[in-house]
Structure 1
């Protein structure tokens, strides 16, 4: 149905008022909407207030949140696929085009700082996402909330983030080390990353379940690294495409997952290029996202640099990283060592020290939040480092004790 004009920034499409960027972006059922039998719609009058205008979105969020239990009640058909073959299918699925809805539920009460609040929200809250995937360098993820949407469009050189309510477009560049984003919590992306370096001996089959109306073949990853704080990762894989449908990450001795992300609806068809492409609309506020410049801080480090191993984990070769910044381990077991700017360090030290079970000693302050370990290490001369990853408190302490005396400005 053609759109009816309502103003400079909004149109009515199929009886729903939507911002012009969304309407022109191709948000039709073919672009990834929930099928019409589960679509909530309403006619919005010109006087509809902001709170009532988003009531329709809130209803949709509630409806989608209830779908997994309903769909999961349908028996799933398993297939006799070896664990190693299923992993290979997952790793080959990055070019499978699709669109749909996904939901991530995190149970990690991360210490909150001003600069990392968005990361803490991702891992502690329930996040509903719409996704259009044409490939790793051509995709779009919208985070849907009761009060609006934030769209992130990825291309070959970076990302555009569009905030409709504030009419702000933010350009972000791709770097060697980036903070987690909603894209990273999609079951398709997270499943591929966690399985990418798994050894055959760490994998086993665990039956099947229904996810997003599809038969998900179960694959369990049980890390063997002594430093790992993750007891297992369960991945449910679409047998036809290899796309991970659901990922659950469990910490040591945990009965409930610390992170559970799943598709609620999935269509294995390529969305049009106009859906994922983005150009800032006329009149938009355009800005550059510098983020937390961890690489710049690491470039100030002098001395011998970080060692080749820490806490029994080998340093990963990563192009573009300065010697003052390191990532150790493989697969599910990773440890990042980052020289942190002073303001971030102070905020994190205070928040971390207030966490339940925090340890404060001559090495620094450290705590475990589910399977995630965090530590602030003070070095001579005022240099502070943040150690974080899916490792135990003992591994953090061992890494801190093994770090050399590194110079540089704080």
Structure 2
């Protein structure tokens, strides 16, 4: 065991050193001149959306600056959007890929297939099987530049897009396309996506909140090889001695969905149209499109009271007759308690003023006015 421990220590020391070198490279490489090309923004968007099945492998890093006020059940989500996450990726397609999160303490790999994901915690020898669900909580693979860039551009209109020149990312000339949301309620100033023109793969994504000089989220490739990795790398079978368990992460959201009381939510809130998503409990309302999204749900008192207390501890929190609300970068949260009725939670990439407007339009509050 001692020999194994020394070997593991040396291995992670080497990985840590490599990650440190890779993280240090982007500012140096990015300073080199990049070659631009006369490619329209709409054409770049089309290339990004068509790149889903392009195979590649590489390293990426995601850095977030959001201090999300969440409960203990969701600390992993808060860490994901507030810390630096280093990832090694093997991508054969959206339903056949592997993403290893590398830290000083060890490695956790996520292997996705057509029916779900395996999460392999190397140091704990634990394999967790999770099914794919529409309300899965965000995970490191969701912040890969290729996945995030494609998702954010997928509903953008041509009028929201503009070219912004070129820069060097992961040693490649990347063409820039800027998404400026049209919705008045949005809390996102802009999204800059830097695209490899040969493959269409987004190499870097920066999300800026309104009136912010630094991105609230910056995810980029540090190294990229465009070639289909072998299937034995992305596939996963738990080793004989592994502890195998069933994933429970999404149950936090689903349990809230099962316990909400039925409310006839309106077709529009804060100027955003309601949208339908398969598998979402009917009591949860989803509004908006693209990068401007709002979710609202009537929730149990215990959940609302805990979240309200967490929000109220922040010096930036606003409490008035509508409820308690706060903004963390482009993400806003609000707890609403109508008189004599059950509470609501509202959250999304909208401004706190938009949350207040949406809260005032909820059935029980609107009827009381």
Per the alignment, residue 131 of structure 1 pairs with 89
Return closer, same or farther for 1:52/1:348 CA change in 2, 3 Å cut-off. Answer: farther
Q: Which of 56, 59, 62 pairs up with 1:101?
A: 59
Return closer, same or farther for 1:373/1:202 CA change in 2, 3 Å cut-off. Answer: same
State the alpha-carbon separation in 2 of the partners of residues 312 and 46 from structure 1: 59
Return closer, same or farther for 1:70/1:341 CA change in 2, 3 Å cut-off. Answer: farther
Give the paired residue count. 364
Mapping 1:97-246, distance limit 5 Å: 97-246=55-204
Per the alignment, residue 277 of structure 2 pairs with 318
Per the alignment, residue 220 of structure 2 pairs with 262
The TM-score with structure 2 as length reference comes to 0.93
Return closer, same or farther for 1:401/1:296 CA change in 2, 3 Å cut-off. Answer: same
Name the SS of the counterpart of 2:279 in structure 1.
Answer: coil
**Displacement of 1:138 after TM fit?**
0.8
1:392 aligns to 2:351 (yes or no): yes
State the alpha-carbon separation in 2 of the partners of residues 101 and 280 from structure 1: 24
State the alpha-carbon separation in 2 of the partners of residues 235 and 173 from structure 1: 30
State the alpha-carbon separation in 2 of the partners of residues 220 and 306 from structure 1: 33
Cα deviations across residues 287-313 of structure 1 (Å, max 9, x unaligned)? Answer: 112224323433444444322111110
Per the alignment, residue 363 of structure 1 pairs with 322
Cα deviations across residues 125-172 of structure 1 (Å, max 9, x unaligned)? Answer: 000001111111111111100110111111111111111111111111
**Displacement of 1:178 after TM fit?**
1.6
Name the SS of the counterpart of 2:237 in structure 1.
Answer: coil
**Displacement of 1:356 after TM fit?**
3.3
Per the alignment, residue 55 of structure 1 pairs with 13
**Displacement of 1:284 after TM fit?**
1.4
Cα deviations across residues 354-382 of structure 1 (Å, max 9, x unaligned)? Answer: 22311112222110011111112235667
State the alpha-carbon separation in 2 of the partners of residues 285 and 364 from structure 1: 45
Aligned-residue Cα RMSD (Å) equals 2.0
1:352 aligns to 2:311 (yes or no): yes
The TM-score with structure 1 as length reference comes to 0.84
State the alpha-carbon separation in 2 of the partners of residues 383 and 128 from structure 1: 41
Name the SS of the counterpart of 1:295 in structure 2.
Answer: helix
Mapping 1:27-106, distance limit 5 Å: 48=6, 54-106=12-64
> Gaps spanning 5+ residues in structure 1: where?
1-6, 8-43
**Displacement of 1:391 after TM fit?**
0.2
Q: Which of 235, 247, 251 pairs up with 1:289?
A: 247
State the alpha-carbon separation in 2 of the partners of residues 304 and 185 from structure 1: 33
1:298 aligns to 2:257 (yes or no): yes
> Gaps spanning 5+ residues in structure 2: where?
none
1:132 touches 1:139 (CA, 8 Å); kept in 2? yes
- Higher mean C-alpha deviation, range 187-196 or range 276-285: 276-285
